[in-house]
Amino acid sequence: MSASAPPSEVLATTIGDFPLFECRLQVGGRTWSVLHTGAVVTPDDELRYLDGFAKQLPYGVVLWPAAIALAHEVATRADDFRGKRVLELGAGTGLPGIVAASLGAAVVQTDRAELPLEVCRRNGERNGAAGIECRQADWTAWTDTDRYDWIVGSDMLYGDEMHPHLRRIFETNLAAGGRLLLADPFRGPSLKFLELLESAGWRVTLNIWTVGEVGAPRSVGVFELAPPG
Residue 158 belongs to some domain of the structure? yes
45, part of any domain = no
Asked if residue 53 belongs to a domain, the reply is no
* Residue 58 belongs to some domain of the structure: no
Residue 119 belongs to domain spanning = 64-226
Q: Does residue 166 fall inside a structural domain?
A: yes
Whichever domain contains 132, its CATH number is 3.40.50.150
Sequential pLDDT tens for the chain (229 residues): 334 456 667 777 655 677 888 999 999 999 999 999 877 777 777 777 777 655 555 677 888 999 999 999 999 999 999 999 999 999 999 999 999 999 999 999 999 988 899 999 999 999 999 789 999 999 999 999 999 999 999 999 999 999 999 999 999 999 999 999 999 999 999 999 999 999 999 999 999 999 977 667 899 999 999 999 8
Asked whether residue 39 is assigned to any structural domain, the reply reads no
* H or E stretch at 44: helix 43-51
Under 8 Å CB-to-CB from 229, ≥6 apart: which residues? 201
In a domain, 68, yes or no: yes
Is the pTM here over 0.85, yes or no? Answer: yes
Taking the C-alpha atoms of residue 53 and residue 45, their distance in angstroms, rounded to an integer, is: 10
For 147-202, the DSSP string reads: -EEEEEEES----GGGHHHHHHHHHHHEEEEEEEEEEE---HHHHHHHHHHHHTT-
Residue 91 to residues 24, 86, 121, 204: CA-CA distances in angstroms? 18, 12, 11, 22
Q: Is residue 54 domain-resident?
A: no
Total domains in the chain come to 1
- Report the alpha-carbon distance of residue 201 to residue 195 in Å, rounded: 10
